[in-house]
């Protein structure tokens, strides 16, 4: 008897991955294909939609072949995708733009103008903070800077919607991706008319919102054959990568908080109703029509560690990537917690939560003649964790009572970083055995929609704990003294961050270096 599997496709910023899972959480196939992130000018971060489409096709074909070769039966397909992407199509469905990614900074001025002119009210209705990542501010940019493209655009969609359009010739978007747009009403689960009027578009230029468990049928036989799929294979539309990662690490009960650090980082927890922050510090995105994920992303996670590697330790460049990070960690371990009073604000690429300020900049504070490179690398690692903690504070003030933190991402391989998190958060940190959590989340959401499992929470039965860290009392007291200094610095430097950003723009500051993902 063949084992039923679901193929989960995760469309990311640097690659697309397709994995095949069964109801025991076992992986039957895994295929990945990367693609470039284009930056024609310093503020633009774009992808080629056709390159992504071909990556989806290739990884799906190969994963389907591998799973079938092991005598698995493909029961369905599901999608995970990065949030905040935007592209335009003309009336004939032809591409007018590249994919504008979450990392794109072209709409800094539009975001700042909106933030001071009614943006907070839009945030309270939509749950998407006013920031250049938001498709709403990107639309304002096109309206102001590219009126020709803006006038020709018949549809404004995300990359996932584009794939579905290519497959099914219809425009639908799941509540999760829609809720990250900045123009989707959280309570009504429909497009927000005031936001659309501001953006200068209509509902007809957008896709039809549907639940994340929506099943799409009607894939033609020719496409199914090309993809090595059984005829009539159902497609579950799925959700965004961030909310699906909560399913994938088992962080779906009240008070269970998911923490991840790769190139960037995020803190997220599931709630049973739309929840926003009066101070605008956190996001609120849909997981299902009855579950919502609140939290905040930080821009600078592993990318800050990579910067420290490249710029502070050029003498180690002949060592392989993985080993050089291990060596830097060993050096940081030699320095006492708190780095002898050296703090690092890790805003090398601006910052999102909880400040939502694209003008923030990195900074060492407290530097003396007694500090060396090893102090600096430890303060970089601590600075990233202090920033993550600032998001935790916002969640607590929004009513969340954290009971357990479940951590993942590339940093979770580092015992030092895991212990730092426990000491700074003053809580136990659990590391679940979960590989490709967004893919697992997408697969489990589909299994629930296809009635292969009883409910989404059943995923907890297939996720096991690998390691647990508890805070060290002595370190807690050190970090308690430093955390308020870090937070005051971050909050009080806003005017100076803007001033130096204006200087850098005026005098032609070069493009930020792009970092590959810290897996």
Query: 132: which 2 tokens?
Result: 């250049």
Does residue 27 or residue 413 have the better pLDDT?
Answer: 27
Per the prediction, the chain carries an average pLDDT of 94
With 60 as the cut, is the pLDDT of residue 259 above it? yes
Residue 203 pLDDT: 97
Residue 516 pLDDT: 38
Residue 301 pLDDT: 92
pLDDT tens-digit series, residues 79-101: 999 999 999 999 999 999 999 99
Residue 51 pLDDT: 98
**Which range (105-109, 331-335, 509-513) has the least confidence?**
509-513
- What SS3 state is found at 63? helix
**Looking at residues 229-255, what average pLDDT do you find?**
94
Q: How confident is the model at residue 413 (pLDDT cuts 50, 70, 90)?
A: confident
**Residue 210, strand partner residues:** 174
Torsions phi, psi of 356, nearest 5? 55, 55
Q: CB burial class (10 A; 0-12, 13-18, 19+) of residue 187?
A: exposed
- What SS3 state is found at 73? strand
Residue pair 180/84 in contact (Cβ under 8 Å)? The answer is: yes
- All residues at 6 or more sequence positions from 165 whose CB lies less than 8 Å from its CB, including other chains: 89, 93, 157, 171
Query: The dihedral of CA 292, 295, 296, 301: what is its sign?
Result: negative
Q: What is the pTM of this model?
A: 0.92
How far is CA 483 from each of CA 93, 165, 388, rounded to the nearest angstrom?
51, 48, 11
**Looking at residues 399-421, what average pLDDT do you find?**
92
Residue 518 pLDDT: 36
With 70 as the cut, is the pLDDT of residue 511 above it? no
- For the chain, the 3-state helix, strand and coil shares in percent, each to the nearest 5, are 40, 20, 35
Residue 510 pLDDT: 52
With 50 as the cut, is the pLDDT of residue 285 above it? yes
With 60 as the cut, is the pLDDT of residue 210 above it? yes
With 80 as the cut, is the pLDDT of residue 466 above it? no
* CATH number belonging to domain 3-241: 3.30.420.40
Residue pair 228/61 in contact (Cβ under 8 Å)? The answer is: yes
Residue 262 pLDDT: 86
Residue 509 pLDDT: 65
> What's the CA gap between 322 and 314, in Å, rounded?
15
Q: How confident is the model at residue 42 (pLDDT cuts 50, 70, 90)?
A: confident
HEC readout, 448-501: HHCCCCCCHHHHHHHCEEEEEECCCHHHHHHHHHHHHHHHHHHHHCHHHHHHHH
**Looking at residues 438-444, what average pLDDT do you find?**
97
Query: 81: which 2 tokens?
Result: 């995708």
- What SS3 state is found at 6? strand
Residue 1 pLDDT: 80
**Where does the chain hold its CATH 3.30.420.40 domain(s)?**
3-241, 250-299+402-469, 302-391+474-506
Q: By percentage, how much of the chain surpasses pLDDT 70?
A: 98
pLDDT tens-digit series, residues 122-145: 999 999 999 999 999 999 999 999
CATH C-level class of 250-299+402-469: alpha beta
Residue with tokens 């749950």: 127
Residue 514 pLDDT: 44
Residue 144 pLDDT: 97
* CATH number belonging to domain 302-391+474-506: 3.30.420.40
**Looking at residues 157-169, what average pLDDT do you find?**
97
């Amino acid at each position: 008897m063949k084992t039923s599997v679901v193929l989960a496709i995760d469309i990311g910023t640097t690659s697309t991955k397709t994995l095949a899972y069964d109801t025991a959480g076992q992986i039957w196939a895994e295929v990945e294909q990367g693609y470039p992130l284009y930056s024609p000018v310093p503020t633009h971060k774009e992808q080629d939609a056709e390159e992504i489409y071909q990556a989806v096709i290739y990884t799906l074909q190969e994963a389907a072949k591998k799973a079938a070769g092991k005598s698995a039966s493909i029961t369905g397909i599901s999608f995970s995708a990065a949030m905040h992407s935007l592209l335009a199509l003309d009336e004939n469905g032809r591409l007018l733009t590249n994919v504008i990614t979450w990392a794109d900074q072209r709409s800094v001025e539009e975001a700042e103008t909106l933030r001071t002119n009614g943006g907070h009210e839009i945030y309270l209705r939509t749950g998407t903070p006013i920031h250049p990542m938001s498709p709403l501010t990107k639309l304002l940019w096109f309206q102001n800077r590219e009126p020709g493209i803006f006038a020709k655009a018949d549809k404004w969609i995300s990359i996932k919607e584009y794939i579905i359009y290519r497959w099914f010739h219809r425009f639908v978007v799941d509540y999760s991706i829609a809720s990250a747009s900045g123009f989707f009403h959280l309570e009504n689960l429909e497009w927000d008319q005031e936001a659309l009027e501001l953006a200068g578009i209509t509902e007809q230029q957008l896709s039809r919102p549907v639940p994340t468990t929506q099943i799409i049928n009607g894939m033609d036989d020719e496409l199914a054959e090309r993809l090595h799929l059984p005829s009539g294979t159902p497609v579950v539309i799925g959700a965004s990568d961030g909310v699906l990662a909560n399913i994938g690490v088992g962080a779906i009960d009240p008070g269970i908080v998911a923490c991840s650090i790769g190139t960037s980082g995020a803190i997220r927890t599931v709630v049973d109703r739309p929840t926003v922050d009066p101070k605008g510090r956190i996001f609120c995105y849909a997981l299902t029509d009855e579950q919502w994920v609140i939290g905040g992303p930080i821009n600078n996670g592993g990318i800050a560690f990579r910067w420290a590697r490249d710029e502070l330790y050029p003498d180690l460049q002949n060592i392989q990537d993985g080993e050089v990070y291990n060596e830097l960690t060993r050096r940081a371990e030699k320095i006492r917690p708190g780095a002898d009073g050296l703090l690092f604000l890790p805003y090398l690429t601006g910052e999102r939560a909880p400040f939502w300020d694209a003008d923030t900049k990195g900074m060492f504070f407290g530097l003396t003649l007694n500090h060396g490179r090893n102090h600096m690398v430890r303060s970089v690692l601590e600075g990233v964790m202090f920033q993550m903690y600032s998001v935790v504070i916002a969640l607590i003030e929004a009513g969340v009572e954290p009971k357990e933190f479940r951590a993942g991402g590339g940093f979770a391989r580092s015992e030092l970083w895991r212990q730092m998190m426990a000491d700074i958060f003053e809580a136990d940190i659990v590391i679940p055995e979960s590989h490709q959590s967004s893919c697992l989340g997408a697969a489990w959401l589909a299994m629930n929609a296809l009635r292969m499992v009883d409910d989404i929470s059943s995923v907890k039965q297939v996720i096991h704990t690998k390691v647990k860290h508890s805070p060290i009392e002595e370190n807690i007291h050190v970090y308690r003294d430093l955390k308020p200094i870090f937070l005051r610095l971050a909050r009080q430097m806003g005017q100076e961050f803007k001033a130096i950003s204006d200087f850098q723009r005026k005098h032609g500051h070069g493009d930020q270096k792009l970092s590959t993902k810290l897996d």
